[in-house]
């Protein structure tokens, strides 16, 4: 809902209570061909998108390499890329390992995160960190410091 009046404590508010950010948002609608009534109508309908309720994390501890599954590197040198070819998936532009034909059919329904990284070269410690959000265990002392699955 558009808030025209507000509390006196609003930082950056005009004398009538509307803050600068909201004033600029409403004022810039005309650039996109929208009017105040369009904005209010859209806000009253609310979001039509359902919010996600769960996440399934596929943690392949000791499993196949990402270079053979969901992050193929077909143009990499032969000593870096895996021995398998890639196949097209149901998501245009995303190729997966040839050993995953069933997963390839449902890739339009999942997300593959390739942009995440960390600076820890110790696989055991890095896995503990990623599964618990706590730094602690390491390759020489594998006792988990926080509840963890491994």
Q: Which tens digits make up the pLDDT trace of 108-147? A: 988 888 787 777 778 777 877 777 777 766 667 766 666 6
pLDDT class for 16, splitting at 50, 70, 90? Answer: low
What is residue 127's predicted lDDT score, i.e. its pLDDT?
Answer: 79
| Cα three-residue angle 143-147-150, rounded to 5 degrees | 55
Q: What is the mean pLDDT of residues 69-98?
A: 89
Helix extents (H) in the chain: 20-27, 36-45, 101-105, 123-132
pLDDT class for 9, splitting at 50, 70, 90? Answer: very low
What is residue 113's predicted lDDT score, i.e. its pLDDT?
Answer: 81
Long-range CB contacts (within 8 A, 24+) of 30-34: none
The pTM for the full model equals 0.51
Helix extents (H) in 16-146: 20-27, 36-45, 101-105, 123-132
Q: What is the mean pLDDT of residues 96-117?
A: 89
* pLDDT tens digits for range 18-68: 666 666 666 555 555 556 666 667 666 666 667 777 877 777 777 788 888
Residue spans per domain, the chain = 1-47, 66-109, 119-150
Q: Which residue has the higher pLDDT, 3 or 122?
A: 122
Distances (CA, A) of 14 to 17, 18, 122: 5, 6, 55
């Amino acid at each position: 809902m558009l808030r025209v009046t507000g509390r006196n404590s609003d930082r950056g508010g005009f004398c009538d209570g509307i803050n600068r950010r909201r004033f600029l948002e409403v004022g810039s609608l005309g650039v996109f061909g929208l009017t105040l009534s369009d904005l209010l109508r859209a806000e009253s309908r609310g979001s039509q998108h359902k919010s996600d309720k769960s996440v399934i994390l596929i943690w392949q501890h000791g499993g196949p390499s990402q270079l053979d599954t969901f992050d193929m590197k077909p143009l990499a040198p032969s000593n870096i890329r895996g021995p398998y070819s890639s196949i097209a998936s149901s998501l245009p532009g995303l190729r997966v390992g040839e050993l995953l034909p069933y997963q390839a059919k449902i890739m339009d329904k999942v997300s593959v995160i390739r942009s995440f990284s960390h600076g820890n070269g110790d696989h055991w410690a890095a896995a503990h960190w990623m599964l618990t959000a706590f730094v602690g265990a390491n390759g020489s002392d594998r006792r988990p410091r926080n509840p963890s699955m491994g």
